[in-house]
Amino acid sequence: MDTPRNVVLQFYYVIFIISKYDIIILYLITNYFKRKKALILLIRKDILKLAIPIVIEQTFVMLLGVCNTMMAGHIGPEAVSAIGMVDTINNLFISFFAALSVGATVVVAQQIGQDLYKKANETAVQAIVSGFIVSSIITLFLWCFRIPLINILYGSAEELVKSNAKLYLEFTLFTYPFIAIEQISNGILRGCGDTKTPMYITMFMNVINIVLGYILIYGLGIIPSLGIMGASLAIAIARIIGTLIIGFVLFRGSKVIKIKKIFPFKFNFKIQKSIFNIGIPASVEQVIFNAGKLIVQIFIVTMGTSSIAANSIAMSISQIINVPGTALCLAATTLVGQHIGRDDVKGAKETLIYLVKFATFSLVSIGIIFIFIGRFVSSLYTNVPEIIDLSAMLLRWNSVALLAWPISFVLSAGLKGAGDTRYTMFTAFIGMWIFRIAIGYFLGIILNIGVLGIWIGMFIDWIVRGIMYLIRLHGTKWLKYKITD
């Protein structure tokens, strides 16, 4: 019988194997280029230095949400469905200040490339304060409309699912300012080339989340089982502690960044303009993207609890598969930004092309494995055969479509590192609203293919955006957005 303890242990065994395989894949691919020219070897060294800590960090970032989803899944399909629904809302609004992290990363990376270390420190303070203000406003706004929001978006869901969703949203709302500070601070450190510190902090956050999640969700001794409330409390406490730690790191000082004081704070409008010139288009892009995902989630809600749960589980597992790709996206933003800061246009382009190849080999290799183990991993989330089968089917399709993922996401991250965020915003609108939503609705609802039709629309979106990014890459316009002092 799958007790909570056995489920968690099985899951961590799977994650250990996959994470180990991710790093081995990165190593083997880089050694493939051993006999290439010196430029490629230099890029390989930079990528390994940045990417391996990010792979580990992103594994634990993924675990932060995935483990709660998995443990909640053994409470019942209503709980895992509610978490998936609320996370769609969270991702939409978090994107407002997550984009500020992109702005901070790009500006700091280009400043470091120009050896403007004092400016980079000032940018860090300006970005963190802006992120706190924006996230606090969003939190207050959502708190006022939290119940109508669930009823309007997910009115067709079962009452128990909606009740769980409202509870989970209420607790996660108040973590927004902490998420903003943590994400922006991590982005600043990555912009400096420091990927190890975010890795260690994220690992520690995950340990806290897992221990508290296990205790609060299932209960232990005199502590009662809190179910979905326990899941929300665990992740909230972990995020708060993580934010406090990274704040301590920035004030203590890293190799490049050291915040001496925040107050009395004075807005530096030139720096704010640089951050928001990158951040606003990136924010709009993320809002477009996540709003589209919210619309798609509404389509799935009409298909029933089994489809909602299967979609949530498959999306959760896809985060595991995408860890190397996500790591290389973050590396692309930093490396391209630093090359642009040094006026090394050739290096920026060569690096980005290399990263796309790197990500393609990594994701396709891992995708092949998940064609065979997708059903087993899905079974760790739930005992319902119908949901397991549907999740496994979605994962098989996803494994094939991963070939298009790097050109859609890694190229986009590299273009953002160069400051070309308006183009990525435009392509996000085209891919999401003209292709993913329209095709997903046609296949999933009109032709009654169900949740698979929604996913096929997503894959077509990847392909369309990837083609548009390839066209941009082979031009020169994306290389003209250097941030000057």
23 has pLDDT over 60: no
Model confidence band, residue 6 (pLDDT cutoffs 50, 70, 90)? low
44 has pLDDT over 80: no
pLDDT of residue 453: 94
Q: Interior CA angle at 467 toward 462 and 472, to 5°? A: 125
CA distances from 351 to 39, 45, 346, 362, 445 (A): 9, 11, 8, 16, 42
pLDDT of residue 146: 87
198 has pLDDT over 80: yes
pLDDT of residue 108: 85
pLDDT of residue 1: 43
Model confidence band, residue 69 (pLDDT cutoffs 50, 70, 90)? low
Q: To the nearest whole percent, how much of the chain has pLDDT over 90? A: 19
Most confident residue range from 48-57, 116-125, 131-140, 267-276: 131-140
pLDDT of residue 397: 95
CB atoms near residue 211 (< 10 Å): 12
Q: To the nearest whole percent, how much of the chain has pLDDT over 70? A: 86
Cβ(456)–Cβ(440) under 8 Å? yes
Q: Mean of the pLDDT values across residues 373-392?
A: 88
CA distances from 267 to 123, 128, 271, 272 (A): 10, 12, 8, 7
Sign of the Cα torsion 245, 248, 252, 254 reads positive
Q: Mean of the pLDDT values across residues 180-192?
A: 87
pLDDT greater at residue 294 or residue 436: 436
pLDDT greater at residue 145 or residue 80: 145
pLDDT of residue 205: 87
Model confidence band, residue 469 (pLDDT cutoffs 50, 70, 90)? very high
pLDDT of residue 41: 46
Q: What is the pLDDT of residues 262-283, one digit of tens each?
A: 777 788 888 888 888 888 888 7
Lowest mean pLDDT among 87-96, 308-317, 454-463: 87-96
pLDDT of residue 164: 86
Model confidence band, residue 382 (pLDDT cutoffs 50, 70, 90)? confident
- Residue 198, token pair as written in the block: 């975010």
β-bridge partners, 243: none
Model confidence band, residue 293 (pLDDT cutoffs 50, 70, 90)? confident
pLDDT greater at residue 37 or residue 265: 265
CA 272 to chain centre: 24
Long-range contacts formed by 61-66: CB under 8 A, 24+ apart? 61/202, 62/319, 62/320, 62/323, 63/15, 63/206, 63/209, 63/210, 64/202, 64/205, 64/206, 64/209, 64/235, 64/238, 65/235, 65/316, 65/319, 66/316, 66/317, 66/319, 66/320
Mean pLDDT of the chain: 82
pLDDT of residue 403: 92
Angstrom distance (rounded) from CA 146 to CA 90? 11
pLDDT of residue 213: 83
pLDDT of residue 462: 94
Model confidence band, residue 68 (pLDDT cutoffs 50, 70, 90)? low
Query: If we measure between CA atoms, which residue out of 54, 191, 183 comes closest to residue 123?
Result: 191
pLDDT of residue 27: 53
